[in-house]
Structure 1
């Protein structure tokens, strides 16, 4: 890992860039966040001392998060490629982190309709296998709200 010191306000990563860095906060504070289509900021996480902060995007894939320093910060930085070479089992961990990150960002910044449509695209066969109350719970909405979303979508067909 390479140690760097950055100033408050330094942007380490922008949404849409390809960045395969992992940041370990030695001293200071980072944040990772996204900005939705309406311009609203959604903070994904804060990274205080002894925390790892990264966008779980795959190498050569556009990242979903901005990462910046809220305070003057000292970081240890490594590339994901280096980490994968040293610890092959970490690839499965990155996949799980990516899945969780996508879900959290979607829950923070997408409408119930968008979350339901994503659910159908991601799990096309599950809708017939589980009760709708479980689907609603997964989406973070009430069963009544799910019923309204499903009704709205069925009327558009």
Structure 2
């Protein structure tokens, strides 16, 4: 059960068996059914979840009542509200929902701090993960502004090749910032070559 997270975290920093055993002991294993909202807007986020199996989306509802997807997380990815909610104890502005039956390994802010206190090298690994997340977020912002719908969709397929078979097309359109109808036209155009 812990091999995925151990391999994932060890890509950035080398850990001893004892350090990995400590990490594993502090994680809570959770199964969450499909279509479960794990975090509602207005709640305080109190978890960071590593996806062992399944697909999750993070989204907000805009002023017109439309869902805007900010992130998908599939196997070997993390999901949380890392803005002000988890670290500043502020109410979240987002929702986190499972799109498939999911299995997670979960930290609370307290268990993560305990990990850092007992095995400080994990702090470096999580700092690297945070930098990677910020780079992905910056790239996503750039793509939203600077690239065409076709370019955004092709890049999406590079990063998430299995998602079109796993999630509804309107979710992908929301993530790309276009309508489902327009995404359908893009897909048809690409299929014709």
TM-score range, shorter chain: 0.5 to 0.7
Where 1:37 maps in the other structure, the secondary structure is coil
Q: Name the structure where strand makes up a greater proportion of residues.
A: 1
How much does 1:84 deviate? 2.7
Where 2:75 maps in the other structure, the secondary structure is coil
1:65 aligns with 2:91: no
Q: Which residue of 2 aligns with 1:9?
A: 35
Q: Quick check: which has more Rg, 1 or 2?
A: 1
**Conservation of the 8 A alpha-carbon contact between 1:5 and 1:72:** yes
Count of matched residue pairs: 107
Q: Which residue of 2 aligns with 1:45?
A: 71
Uncovered stretches (5+) of structure 1, i.e. residues with no partner: 109-157
How much does 1:19 deviate? 1.4
How much does 1:85 deviate? 3.1
Cα separation, 2, equivalents of 1:46 and 1:97: 12
Q: Name the structure where helix makes up a greater proportion of residues.
A: 2
How much does 1:91 deviate? 7.5
Q: Which residue of 2 aligns with 1:80?
A: 109
TM-score (norm 1): 0.56
Q: Which residue of 2 aligns with 1:148?
A: none
The 4+ residue runs of structure 1 with deviation greater than 4 A are 88-98
